[in-house]
Amino acid sequence: MGRLGPIVRQGEIVPQTLAIKQMTKSGVCFPTLRVALLAVLVLAVAGGGFPSAPVWAQDAEKTVVVHIGQYSNDLHAATMGVGLARQMQDAGADVTIFVDREGVRMGEEGQPLLTYGDTDLAALLSTYIDGGGTVLVCPHCAELGGVEPDELRRGFEMGTQESIVELFINADTVVSY
Residues 76 and 119 in one domain: yes
Q: Describe the crossing of helices 121-130 and 75-90 by its angle, rounded to 10 degrees.
A: 30
User: Higher confidence at residue 50 or residue 175?
Assistant: 175
Predicted pLDDT at 28: 47
Do residues 97 and 167 lie in contact, with contact meaning Cβ atoms separated by under 8 Å?
A: no
Percentage of the chain lying above the pLDDT 90 cut = 64
- Indicate the number of domains in the chain: 2
Which DSSP state fits 53?
S
**75: in domain:** yes
**86: in domain:** yes
Fill in the amino acid letter for 118.
D
Predicted pLDDT at 100: 98
Q: Find the domain containing 172 and state its range.
A: 55-176
User: Higher confidence at residue 21 or residue 102?
Assistant: 102
**What is the b/e burial string over 122-138, where b = at least 16 CB atoms within 10 angstroms of the residue's CB?**
eebbbebbeeebebbbb
Tell me what the mean pLDDT of segment 9-25 comes to.
42
Residues 20 and 89 in one domain: no
Residues 30 and 69 in one domain: no
Predicted pLDDT at 61: 86
Residues 71 and 88 in one domain: yes
Residues 145 and 79 in one domain: yes
Do residues 142 and 117 lie in contact, with contact meaning Cβ atoms separated by under 8 Å?
A: no
**2: in domain:** no
pLDDT at 35 over 80: no
Residues 15 and 95 in one domain: no
Residues 88 and 65 in one domain: yes
**83: in domain:** yes
H-helix or E-strand spanning residue 7: strand 7-9
H-helix or E-strand spanning residue 83: helix 75-90
Residues 42 and 61 in one domain: no
> What's this model's pTM, rounded to 2 decimal places?
0.67
pLDDT, tens digit, for every residue of 77-95?
999 999 999 999 999 999 9
Task: Give, in order, the Cα–Cα distances in Å from 17 to each of 2, 3, 4.
Answer: 8, 5, 6
The strand ranges marked E within 28-147 are: 63-68, 94-99, 115-116, 119-120, 134-137
Residues 115 and 160 in one domain: yes
Do residues 79 and 121 lie in contact, with contact meaning Cβ atoms separated by under 8 Å?
A: yes
Residues 101 and 71 in one domain: yes
Distance from C-alpha of 90 to C-alpha of 102, rounded to nearest angstrom:
27
Residues 23 and 102 in one domain: no
pLDDT at 59 over 60: no
Task: Give, in order, the Cα–Cα distances in Å from 32 to each of 13, 41, 164.
Answer: 19, 14, 49
**Average model confidence (pLDDT) for the chain?**
79
Residues 90 and 136 in one domain: yes
pLDDT, tens digit, for every residue of 105-144?
999 999 999 999 999 999 999 999 999 999 999 999 999 9
User: Higher confidence at residue 123 or residue 8?
Assistant: 123
Which DSSP state fits 96?
E
